[in-house]
Every structure is written in C-alpha cells, then in structure tokens.
Amino acid sequence: ARINGDESPDSKKPKKKFWKLLKRSNLLQKKIELDSFQEKLQKMEEKHMTEYYYHRLTPISIDDCFIKTSVVDEVPHINNHLIIMGRDLSNLYDLIRPLRAKYLGLIRYIVILYPNDIPSDIWNKIAVFQNILVVKGSSVEEGDIIRAGIFRAQNVVILADANAHERAVQLDSAT
C-alpha cells in the first residue's frame, strides 16, 4: 500500500527478498557456467562408474594388491579367477572395466601376471577396481604361472604385444 505516493516499508521487504533470491540464483547459474567442459565430463563419468560398475571410491596402492608368494597361499579362497598375462598392458583398463559391470553380479578376482613393475599410468587407471591382484613373473615360466593360480583359474587372457608387428617388419627389412 502506498502512503502519499511512497511505498510503505512493508512492501519493500518482499522485493528485497525477491531480488536476493534472483541474484543468488544468477550467481549459481554463473558458477555452473564456469565449470569447464572437462569437469562436467569428469562428473558424468564418475556418476556413470558409480551407477554401472563395481569400483573403489579411492584407488588402492599396488603394494596392497601385490602377491609375494602365490595367489593360492595368500588368498586361499580364490577360485574361478581370471589371469591376464602379456607384454603390453596399454589397454588393460579397457579389458577390466567391462568385467566389473554390475549386471554381471559376482565379482571374480583378476590376477595380472607381468614380468616388470606395472607402469604407474596404467596402475592409476585400474586401481579403482576391486579384487585385482598382481603377480610379478613371466608368462613363459611354469613356476610363475602356477604362482598366479593357474590350476584354480577359470580363464586366461594373453595380451598381444602392440609393437610385435612393427618389430617383425623391422627384422624383415634388416635381412
């Protein structure tokens, strides 16, 4: 209500609240717009991982997954696991991720048999997945394959060396 053409103090309060709310919502909108495209993609990826895959909220250290003696000795209940071996681990994340899909139900152990230390960039990608074990050894040594639990494994995946073809071509051209 107006008194002598002026607004009453009571009528200004709702307008101030309205403008504060509008200003606050505008600031929130600007903050959302300031998020970079990569941040939005990262958030979408995290939501997707949480919704569809079994994974850890914080990555695990490789030392906590490293098998010093044998898989059967250190994880006695292991059975029907998957052994992954090979010389090139560059696509390991792409192999493991679908094996951790929630629609599969039960999570099987995955044992990685690798002759060297797993490169940190590869480990950082797969360290978010559960039930991953690492055995340092060669895929051509019978003792190392036994340490990886071959007699209790359900499947074995042998990864091809991505550079094998290039080396073969180089050897052919050298002769």
pLDDT in tens, 45-58: 888 888 999 988 89
pLDDT of residue 32 exceeding 70, the answer is no
What pLDDT score does 2 carry? 47
The whole-number pLDDT of residue 38 equals 74
Provide mean pLDDT across the span 27-46: 72
H-helix or E-strand spanning residue 155: strand 155-159
The one-character DSSP state at 161 is P
Q: What is the pLDDT of residue 136?
A: 96
pLDDT for 116:
93
Task: Of 126, 122, 118, give the one whose Cα is nearest residue 56.
Answer: 126
Nearest Cα to 122, choosing from 105, 134, 109, 104? 134
Q: What Å distances lie between residue 168 and 82, 90, 117, 126, 149, CA to CA?
A: 30, 20, 25, 30, 32
Beta bridge mates, 67: 135
Written as one letter, the residue type at 33 is E
DSSP element (H, E) containing 40: helix 37-52
Average pLDDT over residues 92-121: 94
User: From CA 142, how far away is CA 138, in angstroms rounded?
Assistant: 8
pTM of the model: 0.71
Tokens of 76: 């006695």
Structure tokens at 128: 């978010």
Which residue type sits at 144? D
- Tell me the pLDDT band of 28, cut-offs 50, 70 and 90: low
Would the pLDDT of 8 be above 60? Answer: no
Mean pLDDT of the chain: 84
% residues pLDDT > 90 (the chain): 55
